[in-house]
Amino acid sequence: MRKPKILRTRYIPFETVDISSDEMLFRDDEILITRWKAIKPRADISGGISYTFLKEGIKISRFYDADKKFAYWYCDIIDVKYDNDIDQYTLIDLLLDVKLMPDGTMKVLDADELADALEEGLITQEQACRSLKKMDSILQKIYKSSFPPLVCLDEKYWEV
């Protein structure tokens, strides 16, 4: 399997990080599945498995704690840009996130950052609207108990 370059761009704080060192577990035109270790050491996160849905613009990650036990699902709402000539993905964080705990507790995160980014002209109105619509889609799936998608429940990718 050919390994692409993967960049993660954030607006708040503004940064672009090369995450190409993540282990590629699966790749096709619809999804990237990667295994990773936390970039910055944290007590609550040691690493995880990420499922980047390229056409939907959603990255769902299965986070693990320091004991390598499942901690929670974390959904990043993103735009995906792909450059075929150099085989490079740029995952652009659209700020809103959804965190889903094993007990079903859910939190919507960083709505204040989305508002700040829109006010400061860091993102466009179109990006903000896409972010809100994608978040609504995730929430509707959670409410209907059809989240996470089945591919995320395939245990063959869960080892960290």
Q: Which residue type does 128 have?
A: A
- Enter the pTM of the model: 0.94
Across residues 21-49, what is the average pLDDT? Answer: 91
Q: If you classify domain 5-157 with CATH, what class do you get? A: mainly beta
Question: Over 80: is that where the pLDDT of 23 sits?
Answer: yes
Residues 71 and 64 sit within 8 Å (Cβ to Cβ): yes
Higher pLDDT, 159 or 5: 5
- Token pair, residue 58, equals 């959603």
What's the pLDDT score for residue 32?
97
Looking at every residue in the chain, the average pLDDT score rounds to: 94
List the single range of 21-30, 35-44, 86-95, 111-120 with lowest mean pLDDT: 35-44
pLDDT score of 160 more than 70: yes
The whole-number average pLDDT for the span 37-63 is: 92
Predicted local confidence at residue 82, as pLDDT: 97
* Band (1; pLDDT cuts 50, 70, 90): low
DSSP letter assigned to residue 150: G
